[in-house]
Amino acid sequence: MQVIGNFARNHKLGLVFETRVSKGKLLICAIDLLALQDKPEARQFLSSLLGYAGSKDFDPKAGLDVAC
C-alpha cells in the first residue's frame, strides 16, 4: 500500500508491506491502528489486516536477510 505524501515531491511512501524473514513472515503497518479504534474505518482496516495475515493468501514473495 502506497500513498504520496506531498504532490510537489511525489515520493511514494509505504504504509503497509509484507516480507519473509528467515522461516517466518511479517506484515508491517506504519499506521497506529490501535490508537484510532474510535474510527470505524480504522477498526475495519485492522480487522482486514489481521484476517489477511492469518489466511493462506498471506504469502510474501520478497524476503529480508537478517544478520545477528
Number of domains, the chain: 1
Query: Residue 68: inside a domain, yes or no?
Result: no
The pLDDT value recorded for residue 45 is: 95
Q: Are strands 16-21 and 63-64 parallel, antiparallel or unpaired?
A: parallel
Q: Is the pLDDT of residue 3 over 90?
A: no
Prediction pTM value: 0.76
Cell 511525489 appears where?
Answer: 10
The pLDDT value given to residue 59: 95
User: CA 29, CA 36: separation in Å to the nearest integer?
Assistant: 13
- 63 close to 26: Cβ distance less than 8 angstroms: no
pLDDT of residue 13: 76
Q: Domain residues for 27?
A: 2-57
Residue 23 to residue 61: CA distance in whole angstroms: 12
Strands 16-21 and 24-29 turn out to be antiparallel
- Considering the domain boundaries, does residue 62 fall inside one? no
Question: Would you state the pLDDT for residue 12?
Answer: 75
Please give the single-letter amino acid code of residue 3.
Answer: V
pLDDT in tens, 20-59: 998 899 999 999 999 999 999 999 999 999 999 999 999 9
